[in-house]
Structure 1
Amino acid sequence: MSWLKSFYYDKKAQVVLFSSTAIALYGYDQGMMSLINTNQDYLSTMGISEESPQVGVIVSVYYLGCAIGAVFFSWFADKYGRKPGLFGCLAVTSLGNLIMFMSGLGYSRGALIVMYIGRIVMGLGVGGVDSVVPVYSSELSSDGARGKALAQEFQSNIFGLNMAFAINLGITVALGKYNEWSWRVPIVCMQVYPLGLLAVINRLPESPRWYAVPVAICETVADLSSQSRFVFHDKHDDAQAALYNIEGEDEGKKKYDEMAEAADQERDEQVSYKDMFTPGHPQFHPTMITIMGQVNQALTGYGAVSVYGPQIFELLGYGTRESEYLTQGNYVSYFFLMTFAWLLVDAVGRRTLLLWGSVVLTLSFFLLAVFGGLAFNSDDLGIPVQAVAIPGIVILYVATGAFGIGWLATVWLIPTEIYPTTARAQGTAVSVIIWGLANFAVTLLTPIMFNNLKYYIFLVFGVTNTIAGVTTYLFCPESGGRSFEENQEFFESAKEEKSWNVNKVDGGKYKWLPYPKPDGANGETQPLLRRVQDQVE
């Protein structure tokens, strides 16, 4: 049990496990809503039909909550600390989940309104988690394998999706689609995540960088755009104590001196949200890349595929229960294929994974349109439905893996690498906001498209994936294998070249991962916190 003893003292390992578990919250909601949307008791309690646009609205308002939560909790965590921010996110998530569980329990009038409130409140919390966790995790555990760490966290996201769908499917098989506990139990089971994380959060260290670096201090959320009220927390004793606790005294003192020097240099370099959206400001270009990444991820259609998986298999000609089993199989495959994401992301680069992911997704959706059309018209054409449905299954499984490897984690990773320290928290928040708004639109429109376009919906996703691939090729630089400072040089060069086309900046050197990999001796690719030595021995 020496590994357990070591883990007890290893703050870095504890942060990684905590962060991974927190990220799983987002995946759990997707898997949870997949079968709830088709539960007859749920639909009856909400007073809607399975074909009603309200089905999509209930799913999508969650993403609006995420966008708002990202702004609020990013500000809250900057002002009061990463740990208080995370505590607030998890508490709000738990509250929203409880409200969802209570909607229509023993009453019917107003059940839909209560469900909407629960979805929005839970979205506030999960949006905060998605905004604060990457910053907190990177500040305590960043190293030369930044991509691997984040990809592993997002693999936990897929674990959450699998867990929710498995619970939902098992209870639905046992109790049927007309039993209210078939949809209430999967909702309340989500409580294991926020409550479990709240129980252990006190064991985690506060971020030393938060104690020492400059942040925007605002009295209200409305002040977020202000440029005039930047101060340092200046809690240097606390920062030093946190580093000693994590690193040990000798290494902690060294890291503290480096961090204090960096903080002094950044004191007059604060960036506001207003700056990030101001054309001509140095952070406008990185912000547009961040927005492009999240919009393109939504255009891949996989937010909709995750939530409406069973309906897609039904379009390929399968019955309801078969489609549910096939969806679970797709999610299990999704989880295991995500292993390739963290094996490849630092080896071949973020941009390469994005581009190859787009190629595979584009081809897959165009093929799915063909096989979906053949399955839909199999009787008229005299074709056995299995002859076209089985290839459709294989293609959909391949497409899901391509999304996981190429697009799931990379668009969250890039914003943590292309901003300077003084804008990284705001950049992550912007990423969550755009993710929330884009997925709100996609998940709102998807059920409408399912009901009206049938298998032609695959053509729509084929076109949108083409758009995502082309814009990524033109404008997304490779941020892996370079220090944070080196990534800033790309934007300086782009300004000098008066072009955002990656192929034209510095002779196109930001198209690919640099070889050999820079040692980053003077940059932030060097670990802020190295793995703690076995303090037990």
Structure 2
Amino acid sequence: MSFVEKYLGDKKTEVVLFSSTAIALYGYDQGMMSLINTNYDYLDTMGIAEEDPLVGVIVSVYYLGCAVGAILASYLADAKGRKPSIFVCLAVTALGNLLMFIAGLRFRQGALALMFVGRIVMGLGVGGIDAVIPVYSSELNEEGGRGKALAQEFQANIFGLNMAFAINLAVTHSLGKTNQWAWRIPIIAMQIYPVLLISFIYRLPESPRWWIFHNREDDARVSLVEIYGEDDASAKLDELKDAAKEESAHSIGYSDMIFPGGQQFHETMVTVMGQVNQALTGYGAVSVYGAQIFELLGFDVSTAEYLTQGNFISYFLLMTFAWLLIDRVGRRFLMVTGAFGIAVCFAILTVLGGLAMNSKQLGIPNMAVSVPGSIALFVATGLFGIGWLAQVWLIPTEIYPSTSRAQGSAISVIIWGLANFAVTLLTPIGFNNLNYWLFLIFTVTNLFAGWWTWAYSPETGGRSFEENQQFFTDSKEHNTWLVTRVKEGEYRHLPRGKERDGVEGERQPLLAVDGA
């Protein structure tokens, strides 16, 4: 039996591959824009200078598109199905990418406007994908612990980032920074992802859970037979019908989630602050403006670009520790220690950045500050990947009940988009005006992120979905959001002396990958 026959015929594996590739899509954009921003032909075509704030605006409007796309896609996913919503989002992503590619291709007049439109349209598609894919995946897939599965998928995100930067680096050094194809090729190469996913989506089943919630029992049975086979489909169908009856009596709307006093406002604030704090770690600056950071440390342009690629490769490899540790030591521990560790790295970068910029006056060799500065940046990037990349996307899927999980995922993407819009917009302005003092700002924001997580974010690993929801009930009874004061700090850490697998309730998703 060939590899294709053995694995691509397995719907569980196909869902994993599809979800991972979809998540890699938005990682590609981060790596794609990092060197495009410094391409002289790109800047000339757009009619802007390298230090013009519009450089950051072009990057950041994408995240506004993501925020709007998450709302539209979540409604579409609930009304028409997960697969149709994903298909539309992929098509919109492809359209936005194409508009970016043709901006200024024949006529430079209107190039900037078309690039803005392309970035926003592509953001609509990618934001929708980021909102719907976690919900679709959670309804159809499990691979070991919940954290391990999502961390592995987000390692694919870093693969996309590496792929984009590698293509960027190759064409930039082959064609030069004055050649238009050095920035157009990395853009159009992104079409690989939506085209591949669109051509593959027909093989995947619609969520049986969605069919049941829309009173389409026969269609749900077809999906279950496709997933489980004829023998187990009937039993699974009965389970989903029972779950639908119970959950339909507890409908939750956005007003219950986003307004103080709402039934799930506390859960929403944990979700919102997770995404805000992730943005405050400064990872967006490192991902999009990595080469400029290495230049600030004293490296020449070419060396800075190769070091950025090396940093991304290290990032990808270190993500392995994320899925090895996330279900063993917990989400909260990795986030808190990661934030404080990143704060230390940025404090070191503040000192070394200052020395690098004044090395001639102080008589300090460039390598004496640029090498340890690079090490600090590598470590900070790795700590972010291990401690923060996957966790803020995972926690919302663990604290909301099924009736509001899709809305919770959409809120998470919306805040992610708005927070990263602000960070990517302000970062180039910070570089141009604050230089190395920008690192000190990230030091302070990381300290805040670590403190807030320690104080208010419960440990959601090793517990069933129902147990995690109990934290919010307990916090109301104790009249506090402080984790240390709810049930004597029980939710500060993974449950001790307790079996973590096989717990009844929603801990076990619809599918279980063989051998997990």
Assess same fold via TM > 0.5: yes
Which letter does structure 2 place at the counterpart of 1:182? A
Q: In structure 2, which of residues 497, 503, 506 is the aligned counterpart of residue 521 of structure 1?
A: 503
Find out whether 1:137 has 2:118 as its counterpart: no
Contact 1:70 1:429 in 2 (8 A): yes
Residue 54 of structure 1 pairs with residue 54 of structure 2: yes
Structure 2 residue aligned with 1:337, among 318, 341, 348? 318
Q: Determine the structure 2 residue equivalent to 1:352.
A: 333
Q: Is the 8 A contact 1:73 1:128 kept in 2?
A: yes
One-letter identity of the residue aligned with 1:79? A
Following superposition, the deviation at residue 144 of structure 1 comes to 5.0
- Aligned equivalents of 1:91, 1:456: Cα separation in 2: 42
The answer as to whether partners of 1:11 and 1:246 remain within 8 angstroms in 2 is: yes
Deviation at 1:143, TM superposition (A): 5.7
- Alpha-carbon shift at residue 249 of structure 1 (Å): 2.1
What pairs up with 1:143-158 in 2 under 5 angstroms?
A: 145-158=145-158
Task: Tell me how far 1:9 sits from its aligned partner.
Answer: 2.1
Question: Does 2:93 match 1:111?
Answer: no
Structure 1 partner of 2:286: 305
Residue 257 of structure 1 deviates from its aligned partner by 1.4
Is 1:453 matched up with 2:429? Answer: no
* Conserved? CA contact 1:24–1:160, under 8 Å: yes
Q: Please show how residues 318-337 of structure 1 align to structure 2 within 5 Å.
A: 318-337=299-318
The answer (yes or no) to whether the contact 1:144–1:527 under 8 Å persists in 2 is no
Q: Does 1:15 align with 2:40?
A: no
Q: Report what 1:377 is aligned to.
A: 358
Unpaired runs of 5+ residues, structure 1, are 214-232
Task: Describe the SS at the equivalent of 1:347.
Answer: coil
Deviation at 1:400, TM superposition (A): 0.3
The number of residue pairs the alignment matches comes to 514
Q: Deviations over 1:365-399 (max 9, x none)?
A: 00010111111111111110101110011111011
Q: Which residue number in structure 1 is paired with residue 182 of structure 2?
A: 182
Pair 1:473-2:454 in alignment = yes
CA distance in 1, matches of 2:514, 2:208: 15
8 Å contact from structure 2 (residues 465, 507) kept in 1: yes
Alpha-carbon offset, residue 291 of structure 1 = 0.1
1:110-135 CA deviation, whole Å, 9 max, x = no partner?
A: 10000000000000000001000000
- Asked if structure 1 preserves the Cα contact closer than 8 Å seen for 2:336 and 2:454, the reply is yes
8 A contact 2:138–2:509 mirrored in 1: no
The Cα of 1:519 is off from its aligned counterpart by 4.3
Q: Is the 8 A contact 1:362 1:466 kept in 2?
A: yes
Compute the displacement of 1:7 (Å): 1.1
Q: Please give the alpha-carbon distance, in whole angstroms, between the structure 2 residues aligned to 1:283 and 1:2.
A: 49
Is structure 2 residue 402 aligned with structure 1 residue 424? no
State the match for 2:86 in structure 1.
86
1:290-315 per-position Cα deviation (integer Å, ceiling 9, x unaligned):
00000000000101110000000011
Q: 2: CA distance between counterparts of 1:397 and 1:530?
A: 36
Question: What is the alpha-carbon root mean square deviation over aligned residues?
Answer: 1.1
Post-superposition shift, 1:250? 2.5
One-letter amino acid of the counterpart of residue 343, structure 1: L
The Cα of 1:443 is off from its aligned counterpart by 0.3
> 1:408 is paired with a residue of what secondary structure?
coil
Offset, 1:520? 5.0
**1:54-453 aligned within 5 A:** 54-142=54-142, 145-213=145-213, 233-453=214-434
Which stretch shows the higher mean deviation, 279-288 or 474-483? 279-288
Deviations 1:189-232 (A, max 9, x none): 0000000100010000101111113xxxxxxxxxxxxxxxxxxx
Residues 517 and 374 from structure 1, CA distance in 2 versus in 1: closer, same or farther, beyond 3 angstroms? Answer: farther
Q: Once the 2 structures are TM-superposed, how far is the Cα of residue 272 of structure 1 from its aligned partner? A: 1.1
SS in 1 for 2:328: helix
How far has the Cα of 1:532 moved from its partner?
6.3
Distance 1:23 1:324 in 2: 24
Indicate conservation of the 8 Å contact 1:143/1:528, yes or no. no
Identity over aligned residues, as a percent? 64
SS in 2 for 1:173: helix
Per the alignment, residue 501 of structure 1 pairs with: 482
* TM-score w.r.t. length of structure 2: 0.98
- The whole-number CA distance in structure 2 between the counterparts of 1:136 and 1:476 is 25
